[in-house]
Amino acid sequence: MVRDAVRQAAAFQNEHLELREVLHDIADERGEINRRRLGWWIRRHAGRIVDGRRFVRASGNRSAEAWRVESVSPVSSVSGAPRAESVSTVDAADAYARASRGE
C-alpha cells in the first residue's frame, strides 16, 4: 500500500533516505508526501521497466489498490549485441527521480 511505503520511508531516517527523496520528488506537497498523488504517479507508471523493476498491481481483495515492485528478467541478448551494464541502487533512485520530473 502507498501509505506503508510512505510510513517506511519516514520511519528510518538514514536507512531509507534515497526512497524518501524520490517520494518527495514525485509527490511533495508542502513538505509532506501526498499519498494520493503518489498513488496516481504509480498508476501512470505501472508496467514501465526501470533498472530491471516495475510496479504491478498486487492481487487480493482490498478496498484500496495495492502495488508491488516486480523484478523483470532481462531479455536474452542476440549474439554480438552489447550487454547492458549493471546500475547501482543510487543510479536507480536517481533514474526514478528524473523520470518523476519528466526528464
Q: Is 80 inside a domain boundary?
A: no
DSSP E strands in the chain: the ranges are 28-29, 32-33, 53-57, 67-71
Residue 74 has what pLDDT? 67
Q: Is 79 inside a domain boundary?
A: no
- Domains in the chain, number: 1
Question: For 5-49, how does the pLDDT look when each residue is reduced to its tens digit (9 = 90+)?
Answer: 778 777 776 776 787 788 889 888 898 888 889 888 888 888 888
Q: Can you tell me the distance from the alpha carbon of 96 to that of 93, in angstroms, rounded to the nearest whole number?
A: 5
> Which of 97, 11, 15, 1 lies closest to 55, judged by CA?
1
Q: Is 81 inside a domain boundary?
A: no
- Beta-bridge partners for 13: none
Domain extent, residue 22, equals 2-74+89-100
> Which of 42, 48, 47, 45 lies closest to 66, judged by CA?
42
Q: Is 11 inside a domain boundary?
A: yes
Q: Is 83 inside a domain boundary?
A: no
